[in-house]
């Protein structure tokens, strides 16, 4: 869950496959571009006893905004990005400003690039690939943006791969044993030293990706695939994930989702996914479905709504979630 659709869209913006606002451009190709966006909305929970705020409210606001600059001179490029984000599902769920990216990179040629700084890990680019929902399906919790990250990007036509390593980058609080305190962080750098990556085959109608991550507090293996059959897309992912924060006991989750997306017309998609989670120590497996639709009001405005029903509440109890958001980007 918590897929952050806008982040996926902005990745294509800054990569040059969509149009950001050009502030400066030289005849030799050097440029500076401004990009950004906002997503406004959140999740309604069916059982007030299972919301983060108890019986006070059934709605959790997950609004988010970002703005950034990307520049390029010759083979060198850099990126600076600031996010306005919620602080997880807690009573102190206030917007805060976070420097999400501060990095430099170099394109050696059309096949190889290297990046360093506070930036996406390699896995972050593909962690939700195969999940056709906008938000509520089961998802992977990889390291995300990390401080002191070096990332290699390789593009060999239909074969694409990337690998990254992040040094210790904790920026939150620690307890008396110098262990990180979960949710006290300002960036995703709670993962500290972590290595991850992926390799994938990107065909015209079929794509398959293998990915993984290893570190002191995390270990993940996953497989992702999507296939297109005219107006219908079939997708899915499966993963095995082990987490250990605050020096506690390892928590292992094996999960999968498979779903379909049907293009009703040029602007509207209907979406359905089936989700399975087996969490170590839990009495039963969690099984739930997600049903929804999205509508492209314009090329840079998307409206999405979904319902998740089944074992979606705390500790896998039965209930329902309803998600609705509007996405805008430039």
pLDDT in tens, 48-63: 555 555 666 678 888 8
Dihedral-angle region of residue 246 (phi above 0 means left; psi in -120 to 50 means alpha; beta otherwise): left
Residue 174 DSSP code: B
The model's confidence at residue 220, banded by pLDDT at 50, 70 and 90, is very high
Q: Are 306 and 297 in contact (CB under 8 A)?
A: no
Residue 1 has a pLDDT of 57
- As a whole number of angstroms, the longest Cα–Cα distance in the chain is 64
| Separation of alpha carbons 191 and 243, rounded Å | 10
Residues 221 and 83: their CA atoms lie apart, in Å, by 29
pLDDT at residue 280, rounded to an integer? 82
Please report the domains of the chain, with CATH numbers, ordered by start residue: 5-329 (2.40.160.10)
Of the CA atoms within 13 Å of residue 84, those in its CB half-sphere come to 13
Please choose, from the candidates 107, 108, 88, the residue with its C-alpha nearest in 3D space to the C-alpha of residue 98. Answer: 88
Per-residue confidence band for 186, with pLDDT thresholds at 50, 70 and 90: low
Name the more confident of 85 and 263: 263
Q: What is the mean pLDDT of residues 258-271?
A: 97
pLDDT at 185: 59
Confidence band (pLDDT; 50, 70, 90) for 168? Answer: low
For the stretch 175-201, what's the b/e string if a residue is b when 16 or more beta carbons lie within 10 angstroms of its beta carbon?
eeeeebeeeebebbbbbbbbbbbbbbe
Question: CA–CA separation, 124 vs 121, rounded Å?
Answer: 5
Is the pLDDT reported for residue 308 higher than 60?
yes
The Cα angle at residue 234 between residues 231 and 240, in degrees rounded to 5: 160
What's residue 240's pLDDT? 96
Counting residues of the chain whose pLDDT is more than 70, the rounded percentage is 78
Q: Where do the H-state alpha helices sit in the chain?
A: 5-14
Residue 224 CA to residue 276 CA, distance in Å, equals: 15
Q: Is 281 left (phi over 0), alpha (psi -120 to 50) or beta?
A: left
**Residues in the chain, total:** 330
HEC string for 76-138: EEEEEEEEEECCCCCCCCCCEEEEEEEEEEEECCCCEEEEEEEEECCHHHCCCCCCCCCCCCC
Q: Distance (Å, rounded) from C-alpha 87 to C-alpha 72?
A: 32
Asked if residue 289 lies in contact with residue 7, where contact means CB atoms within 8 angstroms, the answer is no
The band of 294, judged by pLDDT with boundaries at 50, 70 and 90, is very high
Sign of the alpha-carbon torsion through 233, 234, 240, 244? positive
Whole-model pTM: value is: 0.86
Give the pLDDT band (50/70/90) at residue 7: low
């Amino acid at each position: 869950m918590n897929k952050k659709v806008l982040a996926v869209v902005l990745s294509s913006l800054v990569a040059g496959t969509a149009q950001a606002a050009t502030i400066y451009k030289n005849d030799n190709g050097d440029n500076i571009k401004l990009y950004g966006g906002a997503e406004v909305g959140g999740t309604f929970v069916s059982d007030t006893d299972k919301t983060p705020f108890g019986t006070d409210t059934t709605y959790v606001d997950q609004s988010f905004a970002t703005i950034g600059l990307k520049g390029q001179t010759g083979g060198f490029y850099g990126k600076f990005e600031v996010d306005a984000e919620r602080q997880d599902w807690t009573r102190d769920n206030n917007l805060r400003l976070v420097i999400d990216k501060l990095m430099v990179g170099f394109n050696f040629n059309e096949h190889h690039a290297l990046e360093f700084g506070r930036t996406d890990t390699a896995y972050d680019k593909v962690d939700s690939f195969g999940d056709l929902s906008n938000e509520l399906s089961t998802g992977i919790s990889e390291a995300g943006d990390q401080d002191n990250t070096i990332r290699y990007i390789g593009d060999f036509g239909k074969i694409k791969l990337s690998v990254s390593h992040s040094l210790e980058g904790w920026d939150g609080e620690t307890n008396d044993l110098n262990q990180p305190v979960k949710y006290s962080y300002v960036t995703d750098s709670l993962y500290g030293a972590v290595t991850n990556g992926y390799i994938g085959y990107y065909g015209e109608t079929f794509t398959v990706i293998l990915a993984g991550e290893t570190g002191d507090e995390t270990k993940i293996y996953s497989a992702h695939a999507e296939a297109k059959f005219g107006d219908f897309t079939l997708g899915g992912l499966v993963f095995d994930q082990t987490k250990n924060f605050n020096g506690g006991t390892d928590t292992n989750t094996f999960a999968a989702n498979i779903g379909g997306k049907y293009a009703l017309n040029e602007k509207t998609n209907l979406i359905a996914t089936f989700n399975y989670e087996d969490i170590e120590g839990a009495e039963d497996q969690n099984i739930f479905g997600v049903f929804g639709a999205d509508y492209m009001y314009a090329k840079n405005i998307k409206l999405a709504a979904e319902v998740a029903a089944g074992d979606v509440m705390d500790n896998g109890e039965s209930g329902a979630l309803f998600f609705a958001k509007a996405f805008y980007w430039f």
